[in-house]
């Protein structure tokens, strides 16, 4: 085996010496044979001649010998590659177009694949990440990913047998003081086993120990790598030092690895990635369901051998038990187990697969183009190929030669494509909306290269196969006789190229329809009225540390002073605040009972969002008042038990009655009705979209700030000019009141609104780019085929014109041919697109996947583009000079 390989290699790399050795050996043989005949009495010349004759064909022997040597395949390949290069160089126009076309196709595929690879395929930075799952509480039909209450978490932990451990956490904003500017940071309170369950070890320090889960030992902190570098310059002496957070001293015991930031969008209360972690011990009071709601995120690790499916079944059983034991708090509630990977990529998954499908189509169109080009070129080379066949090349050899050329083209296109892909991915990254793609960097790694090489070779084989096959089966005699026109291979090529045009038109239509639907949907989405005026609105969050502002009165006093201070700044039109303003993520929600309706237990009560707002909220936000009045000055400074509801609330829960003057119990302060004073409804306002433009406003209750004092509020400043220009002045006011108080999450409402659209914008933009590429490539394709047809039929057109055909007849003839192909492709494309567009379903807003207007528009667009592409060569056909054309032969 090895010997065999050795011989092949030696033969390959030391070809020259092997050849001379063979020559020498054969010469020696001939001479000895000749000597023999001389001794037998022949003269020298005669003897040599006879020896030669007996030996047989000298070169033939050498050829046979080479075959026996076993290198011919590799040698042939090397020869074909050299020949292929020469052929490509001799036709630079063709080669450039083909290589660029392929580079576009392969580049787009590789770029999208790199995103898919890093979002969906690459291992997450946790130990054995496939065994990590999220466990949620779920309300069937409403929210499959609801945050978890501490007592449920504790019961799950003690009753399950599928997890080797469960960790709970929640995030909050905290004020970091001392050592420079006060700063608001995002802190995750985690159970002490959090890092060990994820299997993440700190790069510095020890991290949390089991002891940190004991009361009195929990005043420790782990920093994220990013924050450690940013705030502390990556100084490793930070370990063991103390940091003041919300007035509490905490000792730094670790720095998390680079890139580790546990962030689950669905359950984040801050909407931002954590910068530090501190152990959290579930307080005794939270063991009682009466005292606490659902606010935690739960991650768990599956025991060895346990599957996600088993975990789902068991958690459902446990949730059902708990629901029976505590019907008031857990009735209707189930549990849901989601693999971490699915959780993180959930939002983007459908969009990414659709995009990969789209770039796959683009590559197919590119392949069809190159295939078509190759066919045209093969026709021009027909004589060359026929001659080679005539002097003994086998069909297989010819096909192999042509295929080698195709793969060579593909490889060059692929190389340019990979360069394009790297550039393209960086552009994607630069344009990457926050929190949409968790891409830190896209590196050229093994899977990426494997994908690029794979798609390149596949492309080369796809577009190279048909042309080689047809050429290899050309009839030699016919070709040589007819000079390449009208031969069987010529007809085969014509049919193949027409088929390619149909295919390209079909695929281009599918892409155009897809992007058309997304564009229409996006326009609808952007046109949606959010229910308030978003422009010229500055938002930022102020979270007062409870240690310093321990009482409601202190918090209230702070905001009562801050808002008027801000409203006096030049350029400020009005100022207000909201506990959970629109487009900043999840808000609080609870059960509401109207006193006019019979009492029911909390779990059966209708839900409403609860917003606590400051003075002038509705006028500042420009939310229209539909009935009644807004809060009075008195109600905004003392709790008078009043509330304003939105239209959705009135329509859903109070239709047919006048809501004004009715009283409602809003279960915000306690889970018992007795702990919640009822509020009188004094007004009805318009609906505001909270989570995104595609989600209609939920039933909502507004309370004036004194009804429920939050220590963290988002301040909303309506400005006359650029809101961000006011930031320094606003910060100055804030720090005059409290130099240790940071200003967090600064953004304009326009930015927040834009971010909520990013996913749709991103998908739409990419699909539109791919559709444009498809359109371009397909129009080049149809142009090429028609132009080639015109060149071939020059003589025929000449005769027609000479016989009296009008130029418009010729034009119609050529256009007709192109239009027939285009329309056939478009027709097939519509059928295909109708079948595929349902996969866009979840990405569409406000239109159906079969929207006739979109389909009509893209079909028309494609037809027009095809017509223009055909018109150019058709016009050339009408310019044919009959005398020239007849002389052409």
Partner 1 sequence: MPRIDLPQGTLDLLILRTLALEPQHGWAISERIQQISSDVLRVQQGSLYPALHRLERRGWIKARWGTSENNRRAKYYELTKTGRRQLEVEKDAWDKLTAAVAQVLGTA
Q: Which residues of this protein are in contact with partner 1, per CB under 8 A?
A: 3-4, 7, 21-22, 24-26, 28-29, 31-33, 35-36, 54-57, 60-61, 64-65, 67-70
Cα angle vertex 545, ends 544, 547, to 5°?
A: 135
Q: Which is nearer to partner 1, 23 or 325 (CB)?
A: 23
In the complex, the smallest distance separating the C-beta of residue 28 from partner 1, rounded to whole angstroms, is: 5
In the complex, the smallest distance separating the C-beta of residue 73 from partner 1, rounded to whole angstroms, is: 15
Pair of tokens at residue 564: 């008027």
In the complex, the smallest distance separating the C-beta of residue 4 from partner 1, rounded to whole angstroms, is: 6
Torsion of CA 760, 263, 284, 546, to 10 degrees: -90
In the complex, the smallest distance separating the C-beta of residue 55 from partner 1, rounded to whole angstroms, is: 5
3 state DSSP class of 145: strand
In the complex, the smallest distance separating the C-beta of residue 20 from partner 1, rounded to whole angstroms, is: 12
Q: Identify whether the C-beta of residue 612 lies closer than 8 Å to the C-beta of residue 700.
A: no
| Cα–Cα distance measured from residue 689 to residue 144, given in angstroms and rounded to the nearest whole number | 21
Q: Which is nearer to partner 1, 32 or 887 (CB)?
A: 32
Q: Which candidate, 745, 786, 757, 773, places its Cα nearest to that of 871?
A: 786
Q: Which is nearer to partner 1, 57 or 327 (CB)?
A: 57
In the complex, the smallest distance separating the C-beta of residue 45 from partner 1, rounded to whole angstroms, is: 19
Q: Identify whether the C-beta of residue 126 lies closer than 8 Å to the C-beta of residue 200.
A: yes
3 state DSSP class of 336: strand
Q: Which is nearer to partner 1, 60 or 638 (CB)?
A: 60
Q: Identify whether the C-beta of residue 337 lies closer than 8 Å to the C-beta of residue 86.
A: no
In the complex, the smallest distance separating the C-beta of residue 69 from partner 1, rounded to whole angstroms, is: 6
Cα end-to-end distance, the chain, whole Å:
59
Q: Which is nearer to partner 1, 54 or 235 (CB)?
A: 54
Say how many C-beta atoms besides its own lie within 10 A of residue 457's C-beta: 14
Say how many C-beta atoms besides its own lie within 10 A of residue 208's C-beta: 26
Q: Which is nearer to partner 1, 1 or 446 (CB)?
A: 1
Pair of tokens at residue 682: 């004094």
Name the residue with tokens 């046109």.
Answer: 527
Q: Which is nearer to partner 1, 9 or 724 (CB)?
A: 9
Beta pairing partners, 612:
703
Q: Which is nearer to partner 1, 24 or 128 (CB)?
A: 24
| Cα–Cα distance measured from residue 428 to residue 112, given in angstroms and rounded to the nearest whole number | 10
Q: Which is nearer to partner 1, 61 or 458 (CB)?
A: 61
Q: Give me the phi and psi of 478, to 5 degrees please.
A: -60, -45
In the complex, the smallest distance separating the C-beta of residue 31 from partner 1, rounded to whole angstroms, is: 8
Q: Give me the phi and psi of 603, to 5 degrees please.
A: -65, -25
Residue 439 buriedness (CB in 10 A; 0-12 / 13-18 / 19+): middle
Q: Identify whether the C-beta of residue 134 lies closer than 8 Å to the C-beta of residue 297.
A: yes
Q: Which is nearer to partner 1, 30 or 824 (CB)?
A: 30
Pair of tokens at residue 672: 């018992």
In the complex, the smallest distance separating the C-beta of residue 7 from partner 1, rounded to whole angstroms, is: 5
Q: Which is nearer to partner 1, 70 or 165 (CB)?
A: 70
In the complex, the smallest distance separating the C-beta of residue 14 from partner 1, rounded to whole angstroms, is: 15
In the complex, the smallest distance separating the C-beta of residue 34 from partner 1, rounded to whole angstroms, is: 10
Q: Which is nearer to partner 1, 3 or 142 (CB)?
A: 3
* CA pseudo-torsion sign 225, 231, 235, 240: negative
What string of DSSP letters covers 39-90?
HTT--HHHHHHHHHHHH--HHHHHHHHHHHHT-HHHHHHHHHHHHHHHHHHT
- Residue 296 DSSP code: B
In the complex, the smallest distance separating the C-beta of residue 393 from partner 1, rounded to whole angstroms, is: 22
């Amino acid at each position: 085996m090895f010997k065999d390989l050795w011989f092949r290699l030696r033969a390959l790399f030391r070809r020259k010496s092997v050849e001379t050795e063979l020559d020498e050996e054969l010469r020696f043989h001939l001479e000895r044979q000749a000597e023999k005949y001389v001794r037998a009495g022949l003269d020298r010349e005669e003897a040599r001649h006879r020896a030669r004759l007996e030996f047989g064909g000298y070169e033939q022997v050498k050829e046979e010998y080479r075959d026996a040597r076993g290198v011919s395949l590799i040698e042939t390949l090397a020869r074909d590659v050299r020949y292929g290069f020469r052929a490509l160089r001799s036709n630079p126009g063709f080669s450039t177009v083909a290589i660029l076309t392929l580079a576009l196709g392969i580049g787009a595929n590789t770029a999208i694949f790199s995103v898919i690879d890093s979002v969906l395929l690459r291992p997450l930075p946790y130990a054995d990440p496939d065994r990590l799952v999220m466990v949620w509480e779920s309300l069937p039909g409403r929210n499959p990913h609801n945050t978890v209450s501490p007592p449920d978490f504790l019961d799950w932990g003690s009753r399950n047998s599928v997890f080797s451990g469960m960790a709970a956490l929640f995030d909050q904003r905290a004020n970091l003081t001392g050592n420079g500017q006060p700063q608001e940071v995002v802190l995750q309170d985690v159970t002490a086993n959090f890092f060990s369950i994820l299997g993440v070890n700190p790069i510095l320090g020890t991290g949390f120990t089991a002891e940190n889960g004991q009361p009195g030992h929990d005043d420790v902190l782990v920093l994220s790598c990013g924050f450690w570098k940013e705030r502390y310059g990556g100084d490793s002496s930070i370990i063991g030092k103390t940091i003041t957070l919300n007035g509490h001293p905490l000792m730094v015991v670790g720095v998390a690895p680079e890139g580790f930031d546990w962030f689950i969008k669905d359950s984040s209360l801050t909407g931002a990635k954590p910068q530090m972690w501190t152990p959290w011990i579930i307080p005794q009071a939270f063991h009682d369901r009466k005292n606490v709601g659902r606010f935690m995120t739960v991650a768990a690790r599956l025991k060895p051998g346990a599957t996600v499916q088993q975990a789902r079944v068991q958690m459902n059983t446990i949730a059902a038990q708990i629901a029976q034991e505590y019907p008031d708090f857990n009735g209707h509630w189930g549990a849901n187990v989601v693999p971490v990977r699915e959780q993180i990529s959930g939002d983007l998954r459908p969009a990414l697969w659709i995009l990969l499908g789209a770039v796959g189509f683009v590559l197919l169109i590119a392949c069809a183009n190159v295939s078509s080009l190759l066919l045209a070129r093969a026709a021009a080379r027909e004589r060359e190929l026929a001659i080679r066949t005539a002097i003994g090349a086998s069909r297989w050899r010819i096909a192999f030669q042509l295929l080698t050329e195709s793969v060579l083209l593909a490889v060059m296109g692929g190389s340019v494509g990979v360069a394009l892909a790297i550039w393209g991915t960086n552009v994607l990254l630069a344009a990457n909306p926050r929190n949409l793609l968790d891409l830190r960097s896209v590196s050229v790694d093994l899977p990426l290269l494997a994908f690029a090489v794979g798609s390149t070779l596949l492309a080369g084989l796809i577009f190279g196969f048909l042309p080689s096959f047809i050429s290899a089966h050309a009839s030699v005699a016919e070709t040589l006789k007819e000079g390449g026109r009208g031969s069987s291979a010529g007809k085969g090529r014509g049919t193949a190229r027409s088929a390619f045009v149909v295919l390209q038109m079909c695929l281009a239509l599918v892409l155009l329809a897809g992007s058309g639907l997304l564009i229409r949907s996006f326009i609808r989405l952007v046109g949606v009225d959010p229910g308030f005026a978003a422009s010229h609105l500055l938002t930022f969050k102020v979270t007062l540390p409870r240690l310093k502002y321990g009482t409601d009165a202190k918090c209230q006093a702070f905001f009562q002073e801050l808002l008027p201070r801000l409203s006096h700044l030049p350029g400020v039109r009005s100022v207000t605040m909201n506990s959970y303003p629109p487009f900043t993520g999840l808000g609080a929600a609870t059960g509401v009972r109207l006193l006019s309706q019979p009492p029911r237990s909390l779990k059966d009560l209708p839900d409403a969002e609860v917003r606590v707002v400051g003075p002038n909220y509705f006028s500042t936000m420009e939310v229209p008042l539909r009935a009644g009045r807004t809060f009075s000055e008195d109600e905004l400074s003392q709790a008078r038990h009043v509330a304003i509801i939105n239209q959705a609330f009135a329509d859903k829960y109070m239709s047919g009655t006048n809501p004004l003057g009715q009283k409602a119990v809003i279960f915000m302060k306690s889970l018992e009705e007795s702990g919640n004073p009822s509020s009188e409804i004094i007004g009805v306002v318009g609906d505001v979209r909270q989570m995104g433009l595609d989600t209609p406003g939920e039933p909502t209750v507004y309370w004036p700030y004194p009804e429920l004092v939050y220590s963290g509020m988002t301040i909303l400043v309506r400005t006359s000019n650029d809101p961000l220009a006011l930031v320094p002045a606003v910060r100055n006011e804030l720090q005059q009141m409290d130099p240790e108080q940071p200003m967090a999450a600064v953004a304009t409402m326009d930015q927040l609104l834009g971010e909520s659209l990013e996913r749709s914008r991103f998908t739409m933009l990419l699909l539109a780019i791919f559709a444009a590429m498809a359109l371009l490539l397909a129009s080049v394709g149809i142009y090429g085929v028609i132009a080639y047809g015109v060149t071939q039929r020059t003589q025929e057109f000449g005769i027609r014109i000479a016989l009296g055909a009008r130029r418009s007849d010729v034009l119609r003839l050529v256009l007709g041919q192109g239009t027939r192909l285009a329309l056939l492709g478009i027709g097939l494309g519509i059928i295909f697109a109708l079948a595929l567009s349902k996969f866009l379903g979840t990405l569409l807003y406000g239109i159906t996947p079969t929207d006739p207007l979109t389909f009509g528009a893209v079909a028309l667009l494609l037809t027009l583009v095809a017509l223009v592409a055909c018109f150019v060569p058709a016009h050339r056909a009408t310019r044919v000079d009959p005398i020239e054309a007849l002389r052409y032969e």
